[in-house]
Structure 1
Amino acid sequence: MKKFTGYTKGINLGGWLSQCDHSRETYNTFITKNDIDRIASWGLDHIRLPIDYELVETEDGQYVEEGFSYIDNCLDWCQSNGLNMILDLHKTAGYSFDEFETSTGFFENDTLQNRFMNLWEELAKRYGKYEDRLSFELLNEIVDPEVADIWNGIAKRTVKVIRQYAPTIKILIGGVRNNSVDSIKLLDMPYDENIVYTFHFYEPLIFTHQAAYWVNKMTADFRTVYPNEFAKYRLETEAFLPSENGEIYSNITQDIIDKKFFETAFLEAIRVANERDVALYCGEYGVIDQADLPSTINWYSDINSTFEKFEIGRAAWTYKGKDFGIIDKHYEPIFDRLIKLL
């Protein structure tokens, strides 16, 4: 399969310039150069930097020069450490994956779509020249499965805009259902040789999101382990997750959910990527800080070996905070082992 060179092992900087309170205090203190130095010391080759439109745009669409300075700083810190970077637009005006039910209009509104494309034009003007160490990710996690065709159209037009200023920069595009690996097949054929297909993988969700307060039906006291019996996961999923989350098990024939599960789950996306000669990348994966530590190591070990087997680049979620932070207290007893499995 085609490789995403320079983006083999990475980590997200969630909670800094995205999914945050968008204050100067957060921007200036949550991540500093010392954090980037530390990440480089782990032997990783890139970071994924999520940003929200509020960082660089006012509500009426005017650009905020100070906001761009934080992207500039991160690029400089990465360069000094020999790290590549993915610039991920995590939220755009009119749409956010974690505000899906209250986000309004983006997929039906030409004005909001044009604003999205204009923002990417501005980003391409500013950062397209760094294509040797920077890649662009159009938009994080399209939730609604019904907008697959609309999203393909928006992505195609946006790529065309970016290419005016960054003709060969790598552009990452993910599918519907929160960048599901099963939605890779619904993406358009790559528009050029520098398109990368991206997906996120937190399955079995019942394990990686146990006790997650933001998940519908989930309870704070629920716990489960990995590996586990297929039948047990299925029953737990029915009890504690929305009904659509059980679909991941529809093609599973094994009795135990273990390393083989990842290979089965990735198989179709790998086939599609091979047929279309496009690189495949996992932009997010991780285990919530409510899971027990031995199970966390087991999960990371199995998914990591699968990434390695099929040469799929990836970035763990996440460096700090957001209930998944690798450097947070919960993971201290397994930290040295864990960073070797990223």
Structure 2
Amino acid sequence: MRDLTAHQLNQRLGKGINFGNALDAAAGALRLTEAYFDAVRAAGFDTVRLPVRWSGHAAERAPYTIDGGFLDRVDWAVDGAMARGLNVVLNVHHYDELQADPDGHAARFLGLWEQIAARYAARPDRLYLELLNEPHGALVPRRWNALLADALAIVRDANPGRAVIVGTARANDIDALPDLRLPDDDRLIVTVHYYAPFEFTHQGATWLPDTERWLGTSWGTGADRAAVVSDLDAAARWAAAHDRPLFVGEFGAYSKADPPSRLRWVEFVRTQAERRAMSWAHWDFATDFGVYDPERDAWRTPLLRALIDP
């Protein structure tokens, strides 16, 4: 694992896709199949990001044992992706209780990481561990900086050389990068998520209030493009100043955006990230943001082409 620098490990992530609404969701969610891994590899993606809601499958009391059957499901997904030569980013996702009450759940969060880190310690270095998806709420920067250092120390006990991915507070917002304080560790990749402008990317989103008023928002003017450039330039400046590689772990636009605007936004964000040596993972594979239609068992080809050059 020491043969590659953090920057090289980040470049290896390359072009990624999130398998959202699968291992991070309840019943009725996307059911992963072998065919999905084959399709992702054949399309030209390098990486699968696996969001996992470990907190929904673990005991409430120490040692916070994770359900064995659920662990087997995660193993199957990790190994299925890696068997096809894909990198895997494995994270802790949707730990809502931790976001609301860090002090009350910090010990459980660390207990989960003790188990995850030990279980996957023998996997090849194409497995990357991401400490927590979108820290926010009561996990303000000061509190998150302290907790991430504790979690990283636990991961390092079992995985001294593995690439670890760490995001900013305020839900991995680029503007929160200046508040991020990282331990002295040369195997870290910093992740940000990008959904700006939110009124465009989340117009009509059913899980958020009052988003119907944004319906009809288009994207693609010179000012629209300049705003993306400004945001990613700010992230790139921070990365250069701190000598940290950047992974855009999520970006995408909801399906209710008009298709031409959606394609323009996705392609522009993707290409601008690549120009700044940022790896990326689109959100996501097969939800309402998805590039794949599970009902037709087929790619949404225009959106795929916005991500993967033919």
Same structural fold, with TM-score higher than 0.5 when normalized by the shorter chain: yes
Question: Are positions 1:256 and 2:223 aligned together?
Answer: yes
Tell me the equivalent position of 2:280. 314
SS of 2:93's partner is strand
Tell me the equivalent position of 2:3. none
Give yes or no for contact 1:56–1:66 (8 Å, CA) kept in 2: no
Tell me the equivalent position of 1:14. 20
Tell me the equivalent position of 2:305. 337
TM-score w.r.t. length of structure 2 = 0.89
Tell me the equivalent position of 1:116. 109
Tell me the equivalent position of 1:39. 40
Cα separation, partners in 2 of 1:145 and 1:63, compared to 1, 3 Å: closer
Give yes or no for contact 1:184–1:197 (8 Å, CA) kept in 2: no
- Written as runs of structure 1 = structure 2, the 5 A alignment for 1:1-342 is 2-3=7-8, 4-18=10-24, 20-21=25-26, 23=27, 30-54=31-55, 56-60=57-61, 61-92=64-95, 94-95=97-98, 104-105=100-101, 107-109=102-104, 112-144=105-137, 147-219=140-212, 222-228=215-221, 256-258=223-225, 260-321=226-287, 323-328=288-293, 332=300, 334-340=302-308
State the identity %: 27
Task: Please identify runs of 4+ aligned residues in structure 1 that moved more than 4 A.
Answer: none
Cα separation, partners in 2 of 1:307 and 1:36, compared to 1, 3 Å: same
In structure 2, distance between residues paired with 1:299 and 1:167: 38
Unpaired runs of 5+ residues, structure 1, are 97-103, 229-254
TM-score w.r.t. length of structure 1 = 0.81
Q: Cα distance, 1:222 vs. partner?
A: 2.0
Once the two structures are superposed, residues 222-265 of structure 1 have per-residue CA deviations (whole angstroms, 9 ceiling, x without a partner) of 2111114xxxxxxxxxxxxxxxxxxxxxxxxxx7211x322210
In structure 2, distance between residues paired with 1:76 and 1:214: 32
SS of 2:122's partner is helix
Cα separation, partners in 2 of 1:212 and 1:336, compared to 1, 3 Å: closer
Cα separation, partners in 2 of 1:274 and 1:202, compared to 1, 3 Å: same
Cα separation, partners in 2 of 1:341 and 1:118, compared to 1, 3 Å: farther
Q: Cα distance, 1:339 vs. partner?
A: 4.2
In structure 2, distance between residues paired with 1:335 and 1:266: 21
In structure 1, distance between residues paired with 2:33 and 2:125: 23
Cα RMSD over matched residues?
Answer: 2.4
